[in-house]
């Protein structure tokens, strides 16, 4: 890996662009191209178009109105005039712009005060008849302090000095009809004259295809290697003893759906292996992930090990705790509860029970990963709503395990199960999540009726209040979600309090509850318990109820200022209703003006109930960077390839990665070195 020959200050700026080595420079491809291969007569220059022109300086003077600027009058051979304006200029400009000098200028022609003008064109002095460049000029992504000319020079150096040897075996190139690497980067950095800027910027060009393929291939190799590295570790092998798991299944008031049975089968077979499971259980809101998690936990316990479930919020963790306790208490299995808001003494007791091994099962919040919690025999760590946690937090939970006597030899680790109600679109699953095994619950428990979604302008708030009255009169319950105010938590709280007061006075006959993020854990738990028990008719809430909350009798969801919420949030919130047999309704109250994306989001919510469809369109709206959220920190985003547009290339890259790793491993390292180079260390999480 050869370093870039440049002074320290320059290197620091290049680092900001992610450019550390000559290889990085070779892969720093132009955003677009400028055509300096021909001179356009001024008479033919169209307004608003960037062109190269040649003209002679007639006069140049510094003016002070409206501000200090250098104004220069030019004339070309045909006698057409052009004005130049420079708001920033060096003393040397007056020498270069002396009357009679002939200039080659590149810039956009605009209508100015005196006539056609160029503001801050690029220019240089030329002799009459000076030759023109033969190729288009590349324009690179750059940052303050690095000029295009400077970057071009560095890239030229890199193209001369870096090793451009192909990292793909010739047989593969031939099979996929891809051009050679060196040929491609040379073409894109200084294209030959027969290419137009449009042709080069079209990412369907074979040279672009090749580079996008390379990028995707590196990503796929990286993920597969991470996957293999994990499989090389040891983990406790949990046998299908089916003592406790069978008893739980027999005691349930329902039968597992086909999808749940399938997912449980996949998990059970992973748990039986002597290397750590790394599986994502994915299922739309309400698909019944919790029981699958409970079965996995019991599998650990019936084998004499411990299992832990961590959830991102107090409310959700508490609810899991209640549910698990209601299933497992009858089996004589105590569940330890660990949360940040519980009394010190209670927490101490729970921790002691975990540490002594007396408690085999634990449920809790982030408090579980704080120092001082030790699991002597942890075999399974489950993370609910995994995307809410960062990479580091998930690792911390895994590292709580003291599973030192795992099978497979070497360092032993607990099995990991992640759960998410945010379905991952296929292209993301194939790329960013390719290092995970995935089980999907694609079937809802029977007897659910799809939620009916309605968009209601906030001018019709009275009708909404009347609907709540009617639903509660029939013995049903309702949620009212207060507007999200991202900029200020205090303001959000205030709004929630005001909404609560207003609804309390409007609906005097109803029992109205309020839950928000500033309540203590115990207070929240109390309100939620009352709502679950039917002692509260209408629950006014902030987004604290977004994930996982499960009260089947609630059949009406009102979301105020729905236009402020993101798509996955709206889908999660909507998922709080439609959990029982009653027809459920979700009312999205919105206020004008609606931005284009807000309008688009509401439309998607109106059009579909399907979590996969919502996620796919969300990905389209936001792009993978935002969609991936926390996961992003562990996986590099793609620079050239586009997951949706290049789905076919991704497929090829995946197959090729498999083939190379298996049959031609000697090609793997050079390819990764070129594409991930200096970023590889970062990716070892």
Residues 569-598, mask of contacts with ligand ADP (x by CB under 6 A): ----------x-------------------
- Nearest residue to 140 via CA among 130, 128, 126, 150: 150
Rounded Cα–Cα distance for residues 565 and 571 (Å): 10
Q: Which of 290, 416, 420, 431 is the binder for ligand ADP (CB under 6 A)?
A: 290
Among 286, 406, 408, 423, binds ligand ADP (CB under 6 A): 286
| Distance from C-alpha of 384 to C-alpha of 307, rounded to nearest angstrom | 13
Are the C-beta atoms of residues 217 and 656 closer than 8 Å to each other? yes
CA–CA dist 140, 26 (Å, integer): 12
How far apart are the C-alpha atoms of 58 and 74, rounded to whole Å?
Answer: 5
Nearer to ligand ADP, 254 or 606 (CB): 254
Residue 550 binding ligand ADP, by CB under 6 A: yes
Count of residues of this chain found to bind ligand ADP when the rule CB under 6 A is applied: 19
Q: Taking CB under 6 A as the rule, does residue 641 contact ligand ADP?
A: no
The piece of 305-313, 477-485, 548-556, 617-625 that touches Mg ion (CB under 5 A) is 548-556
Q: Does 287 engage in binding with ligand ADP (CB under 6 A)?
A: yes
CB distance 45 to 111 below 8 Å:
no
d(CA 308, CA 320): 11
322: contact with ligand ADP by CB under 6 A: no
CA-closest candidate to residue 553, choices 575, 534, 572, 530: 534
Distance CA 47, CA 115 (A): 11
The yes or no reply on residue 254 touching ligand ADP (CB under 6 A) is yes
Does residue 312 bind Mg ion (CB under 5 A)? no
By CB under 5 A, tell whether 548 contacts Mg ion: yes
Question: What's the burial of 209, exposed, middle or buried (CB within 10 Å: 0-12/13-18/19+)?
Answer: buried
Three-state DSSP state, 173? helix
End-to-end CA distance of the chain: 22
The answer to whether the CB of 463 falls within 8 A of the CB of 274 is no
Contacted by 260, from ligand ADP, Mg ion, none: CB < 5 to 8 Å by type = ligand ADP
- Residue count of the chain, please give it: 685
Q: How far is the CB of 287 from Mg ion (least distance, A)?
A: 9
Q: Of residues 408-437, which lie at the interface with ligand ADP (CB under 6 A)?
A: 421
Contact partner, 413, from ligand ADP, Mg ion, none, Cβ < 5-8 Å per class: none
The beta strands (E) that lie in 445-565 are given as 452-457, 477-481, 512-515, 538-541, 554-559
Judge whether 368 and 375 are in contact, CB under 8 Å: no
Scanning 191-199, 248-256, 341-349, 368-376 for contacts with ligand ADP by CB under 6 A, the matching segment is 248-256
- Site residues (CB under 6 A) for ligand ADP, limited to 477-536: none
Pick from 137, 220, 257, 420 the residue near ligand ADP by CB under 6 A.
Answer: 257
Q: Residue 285 binds which one of Mg ion, ligand ADP, none, with CB within 5 to 8 A depending on kind?
A: ligand ADP
Q: Is 209 in the site for ligand ADP (CB under 6 A)?
A: no
Task: Single out the segment in contact with ligand ADP by CB under 6 A; choices: 144-152, 278-286, 343-351, 609-617.
Answer: 278-286
Tell me which of 150, 445, 566, 629 binds ligand ADP, using CB under 6 A: 445
**H-type alpha helices, 478-610:** 489-506, 521-532, 567-574, 596-607
Give every CB contact of residue 371 below 8 A, 6+ residues apart in sequence: none
Q: Quick check: helix, strand or coil at residue 592?
A: coil
Q: In the set 121, 234, 283, 423, which binds ligand ADP (CB under 6 A)? A: 283
Question: Taking CB positions, which residue lies at the least distance from Mg ion?
Answer: 548
CB 474 within 8 A of CB 556: no
Compute the least distance from the CB of residue 285 to ligand ADP, in Å.
Answer: 4
From the list 17, 126, 135, 256, which residue makes contact with ligand ADP (rule: CB under 6 A)?
256
Among 57, 82, 185, 285, interactor with ligand ADP by CB under 6 A: 285
DSSP 21: B
549 belongs to the binding site for ligand ADP (CB under 6 A): no
Q: Which residues of the chain form contacts with ligand ADP (CB under 6 A)?
A: 254-257, 260, 283, 285-291, 421, 445, 548, 550, 552, 579
Q: Which residues of the chain form contacts with Mg ion (CB under 5 A)?
A: 548
């Amino acid at each position: 890996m050869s370093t870039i020959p440049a002074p320290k200050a320059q290197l620091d700026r290049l680092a900001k662009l992610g450019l550390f080595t000559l290889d990085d420079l070779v892969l720093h491809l132009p955003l677009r191209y400028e055509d300096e291969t021909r001179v356009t007569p001024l008479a033919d220059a169209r307004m608003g178009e960037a062109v190269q022109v040649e003209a002679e300086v007639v006069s140049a003077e510094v003016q002070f109105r409206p501000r200090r600027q250098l104004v220069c009058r030019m004339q070309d051979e045909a006698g057409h005039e052009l004005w130049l304006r420079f708001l920033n200029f060096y003393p040397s400009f007056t020498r270069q712009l002396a009357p009679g000098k002939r200039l080659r200028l590149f810039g956009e022609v605009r209508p100015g005060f005196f006539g056609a003008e160029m503001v801050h064109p690029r220019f240089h002095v030329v002799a009459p008849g000076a030759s023109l460049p033969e190729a288009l000029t590349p324009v690179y992504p750059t940052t303050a302090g690095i000029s295009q000319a400077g970057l071009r020079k560095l890239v030229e150096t890199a193209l001369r000095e870096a090793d451009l040897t192909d990292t793909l075996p010739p047989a593969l190139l031939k099979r996929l009809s891809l051009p050679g690497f060196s040929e491609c980067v040379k073409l894109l950095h200084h294209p030959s004259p027969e290419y137009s800027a449009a042709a080069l910027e079209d990412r369907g060009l074979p040279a672009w295809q090749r580079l996008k393929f390379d990028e995707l291939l590196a990503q796929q190799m990286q993920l597969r290697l991470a996957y293999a590295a994990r499989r090389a570790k040891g983990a406790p092998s949990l046998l299908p003893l089916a003592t406790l798991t069978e008893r739980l299944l027999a005691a349930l008031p329902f039968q597992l759906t086909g999808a749940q049975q399938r997912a449980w089968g996949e998990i059970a077979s992973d748990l039986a292996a002597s290397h750590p499971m790394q599986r994502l259980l994915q299922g739309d809101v309400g698909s019944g992930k919790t029981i699958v998690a409970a079965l996995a936990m019991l599998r650990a316990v019936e084998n004499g090990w411990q299992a832990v479930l961590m959830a991102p919020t107090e409310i959700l963790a508490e609810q899991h705790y209640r549910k698990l306790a209601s299933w497992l208490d009858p089996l004589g299995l105590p569940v330890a509860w660990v949360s940040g808001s519980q009394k010190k003494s209670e927490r101490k007791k729970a921790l002691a029970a975990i540490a002594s091994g007396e408690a085999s099962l634990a449920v809790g919040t982030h408090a579980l990963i704080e120092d001082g919690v030790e699991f002597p025999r942890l075999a399974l760590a489950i993370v609910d709503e995994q995307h809410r946690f960062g990479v580091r937090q998930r690792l911390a939970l895994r590292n709580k395990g003291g599973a030192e006597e795992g099978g497979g030899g070497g360092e032993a680790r607990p099995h990991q199960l992640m759960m998410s109600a945010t379905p991952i679109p296929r292209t993301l699953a194939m790329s960013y999540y390719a290092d995970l095994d995935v089980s999907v619950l694609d079937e809802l428990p029977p007897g659910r009726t799809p939620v009916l979604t309605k968009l209601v302008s906030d001018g019709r708030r009275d009708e909404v209040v009347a609907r709540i009255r009617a639903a509660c009169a029939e013995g049903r319950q309702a949620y009212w979600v207060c507007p999200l105010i991202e900029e200020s938590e205090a303001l959000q709280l205030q709004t929630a309090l005001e909404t609560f007061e207003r609804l309390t006075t409007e609906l005097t006959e109803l029992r109205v509850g309020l839950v928000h993020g500033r309540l203590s854990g115990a207070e929240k738990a109390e309100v939620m318990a009352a709502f679950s028990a039917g002692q509260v008719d209408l629950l006014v809430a902030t987004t604290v109820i977004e994930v996982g909350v499960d009260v089947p009798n609630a059949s009406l969801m009102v979301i105020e200022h729905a236009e402020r919420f993101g798509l996955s949030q709206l889908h999660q919130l909507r998922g709080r209703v439609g959990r029982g047999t009653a027809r459920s309704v979700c009312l999205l109250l919105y206020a004008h003006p609606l931005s284009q994306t807000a309008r688009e989001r509401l439309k998607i919510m109106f059009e579909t109930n399907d979590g996969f469809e919502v996620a796919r369109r969300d990905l389209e709206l936001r792009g993978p960077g935002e969609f991936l959220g926390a996961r992003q920190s562990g996986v590099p985003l793609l620079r050239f390839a586009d997951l949706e547009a290049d789905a076919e290339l991704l497929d090829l890259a995946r197959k090729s990665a498999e083939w190379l790793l298996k049959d031609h491993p000697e090609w793997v390292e050079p390819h990764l070195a070129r594409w991930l180079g200096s970023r590889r260390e970062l990716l070892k999480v």
